[in-house]
Amino acid sequence: MTKAGDWKSYQRVLLPPVKNLHHLNIYRDQGGYEALRRVLSEKSPQDVIGEMKRSGLRGRGGAGFPTGLKWSFMPPVDPDKPRYLCCNADESEPGTFKDRQLMEYNPHLLFEGILIACYAMSMRACYLYVRGEYASWITLMEQELSKAYEAKLVGENMMGTQQHMDIIIHKGAGAYICGEETSLMESLEGKRAYPRIKPPFPAQSGIWGAPTTINNVETLACAPLIMERGGGWFAGIGAEKNPGPLLYGISGHVNRPGVYEYPTGMLITDLLEIAGGMRGGKKLKALVPGGASVPVLRADMIDGVTMDIESLKESGSMLGTAGMLFLDEDTDMVAFLRRVARFYHHESCGQCTPCREGTGWMENLITRIDDGEGNLRDLDLLLDLCDQMEGRTVCALADAAAWPVRNTINRFRDDFERRCRPSSWAVNA
């Protein structure tokens, strides 16, 4: 028995098999917005946060911070000071596409989750920050949101109570860095999205200096399920220390790529089988388990590894966003790393020197190796560069660039060495 338990009979809850679930009436027929109604009439905000803590839900945006704990960090209510919720739908991590599917197929679950979170933290407004590339999905959500407003599920005197909450959709314009919570706040304030130094944390001083909580789309979508079925039910799904349903975005050289919903703690080998196995019957070479920022795993490292925070940490990687990229035996790891480095060079916001310059040097060096002009000492220079970048910047983008570079070189050293020329300089000249 794996950590995921009896996953073969798992019933999907985030993306349930219901046709046209995005329509408000169909969503309500399925019992939608009932959890919110019960929360508003029966539960105090403290009860809601307590239930979230009991559920053991950890953020699905990549960092895996316990959600209930995050919600409890909000300072006591000050009637003169606004407080905001931000929903981070700036899903730009390469290999990650789960939030888009959730916004497409089950937008009302997200809205309901947002409203529950607003109630739990006594907030009156939520900014839903969607990346600019998702223009189509913004339009689709705006339609559904306006229906929810008409049905008095959002807005003034919502659901016949004295509450007033608003959901405001904000459209980004194509910057990976906006997925970082402090730069998302800067972007919302209409500035260049430069990350801020923490502390002060968003719970003390967030957008426009007001206390703010930022959660991922999938995290907030779990809230109505937890309210409806209880924190104990949620905690019983999947891996013990990282429970709940999880959207696995599977891509790369597999037969059936796409978003799959299963409990956390699934065996990687099971997931590969679910996704139809490797394309063309080829062998697996490498796996990126959670978006571009997490260390790559070699095929021989995945035996018995499950998709949860603890197990992946032990195996030398991270869960990240659970956007899994499977690569087959023909994959050129140098070309892979060149593209990853290019991504970070393009997306570095330019605020901190180690990242702005470092990502550029990374790309240059890997390009040189890929073009067959690299020397062996370039590999050590790259590893040294990683050490110089990591932990020396305001946000974690430099770290996120250093981890895949260091681990891909270390774990596929042969591939890189084969492409390099031996150094022409004597070591002890």
Residues from 363 through 402 that contact another protein (CB under 8 A) = none
CA distance 381 to 386: 9
Region for residue 165 given its phi and psi (left: phi exceeds 0; alpha: psi -120 to 50; beta: otherwise): beta
DSSP conformational letter for 368: H
Q: Binder to another protein among 74, 120, 138, 305 (CB under 8 A)?
A: 138
Q: Residue count at the site for another protein (CB under 8 A)? A: 72
Q: Which is nearer to another protein, 101 or 359 (CB)?
A: 101
Task: Kindly write out the interface string for residues 264-303 of this chain, putting x where it contacts another protein by CB under 8 A and - elsewhere.
Answer: -----------x------------x---x-----------
Alpha helices in 19-134 (DSSP H): 24-29, 34-42, 45-55, 67-72, 98-105, 107-120
Q: Which is nearer to another protein, 189 or 303 (CB)?
A: 189
Q: Which is nearer to another protein, 16 or 160 (CB)?
A: 16
Pick out residues in 51-90 that bind another protein (CB under 8 A).
Answer: 82
CB contact burial 30-61 (16+ within 10 A = b; e otherwise): eebbebbeebbeebebeebbbbbbbbbbbbbb
What are the two backbone dihedrals, phi and then psi, of residue 338, each rounded to the nearest 5 degrees? -60, -40
Shortest CB 398 distance to another protein, Å: 17
Q: Binder to another protein among 76, 190, 199, 280 (CB under 8 A)?
A: 190
Shortest CB 428 distance to another protein, Å: 38
Between β-strands 245-252 and 323-328, what pairing exists: parallel, antiparallel or unpaired?
parallel
342: exposed, middle or buried (Cβ count in 10 Å: 0-12, 13-18, 19+):
middle
Residue 164 is a binding residue for another protein (CB under 8 A)? no
Pick out residues in 222-241 that bind another protein (CB under 8 A).
Answer: none
Residue 208 is a binding residue for another protein (CB under 8 A)? yes
Q: Which stretch in 31-39, 150-158, 302-310, 346-354 sits in contact with another protein by CB under 8 A?
A: 346-354
Shortest CB 321 distance to another protein, Å: 11
Q: Which is nearer to another protein, 65 or 208 (CB)?
A: 208
3-state secondary structure of 265: coil
Residue 215 is a binding residue for another protein (CB under 8 A)? no
How would DSSP label each residue in 216-255? EHHHHHHHHHHHHH-HHHHHTSS-TTS-SEEEEEEEESBS
Shortest CB 130 distance to another protein, Å: 11
Pick out residues in 302-341 that bind another protein (CB under 8 A).
Answer: 323, 325, 327, 331, 335-336, 339-340
CA distance 185 to 197: 12
Sheet of strand 245-252: strand arrangement = 258-263, 245-252, 323-328, 284-288, 297-298
Pick out residues in 91-120 that bind another protein (CB under 8 A).
Answer: 91-97, 99-101, 104-105
Q: Which is nearer to another protein, 52 or 130 (CB)?
A: 130
